Amino acid sequence: MMTRLSVNVNKVASLRNARGGNNPNLIQVVKDCESYGAEGITVHPRPDERHITLNDVYDISKIVRTNYNIEGYPDNRFLKIIKDIRPEQATLVPDAPDVVTSNRGWKSSDDNALLRNVVSTIHKYGVKVSLFIDPDFKMIECARDCGVDRIELYTGKYAKNYLDNKDTSAFEYIKASEYAISNGLQVNAGHDLDLNNLKFLKDSLSNLFEVSIGHALISDALYYGLEKTIKMYLNELK
């Protein structure tokens, strides 16, 4: 199974915002990512607009040709975005507004009644829902019960463990992936994935549907160029 690569362009927006103006041109970068082979574009429009702005989200929706994935905490602001744009996928994360980056998945102690209502609402818009979780069986069951289409496994722990002990780093992710698939869910993955650890995860999870990668990919592009970098990541996913 060929795993889909979705490029998270938040860091491109961060670079642009550092100086104001429109350099780099985010819309052109999105077009280029797709022309270089990316199968999706991911954005996470946070309330403080530290990188992707609300205007960016709508502007990208007008030109994106591949799979558009919008991440966010499912508050009223996020739901309006999903209703207006109807992207291919909405990824629900448990982040508070002040969190620097998504650093954990939903927990069983979170408001799962809220999740069920949100998932039902988003499905009415014809949008698939992915739930950002740790490799935890209880949360996989929660995802199933909430009616989501996919889970996105938070791979920050995997990336850390890969440096310490590669051979055992993916074990709990393998088990979680198998359990999710047995419960009718597709499996995505994201966070701290890079050219060093991506192939091992892909080879370990035979049914990995999609990875969303931003920080590492954009960092690598500073050295290799964007086109070559995207092709390098795609090669790791074969």
Task: Give the active site residues.
Answer: 44, 71, 191
CB distance 18 to 26 below 8 Å: no
Read off the tokens for 197: 């650890």
Distance CA 27, CA 9 (A): 10
Q: How far apart are CA 69 and CA 44, in angstroms?
A: 9
Cβ–Cβ under 8 Å, residues 4 and 213: no
54-71 as b/e, with b when 16 or more CB fall inside 10 Å? Answer: eebbeebbeebebbbbbb
Q: Which residues contact 48 (CB under 8 A, 6 or more apart)?
A: 97
Best CA proximity match to 40, nearest among 218, 201, 209: 209
Buried b (16+ CB within 10 A) or exposed e, 164-190: eeeeebbebbeebbebbbeeebbbbbb
Question: For residues 129 and 74, what is the distance between their CA atoms, to the nearest angstrom?
Answer: 11
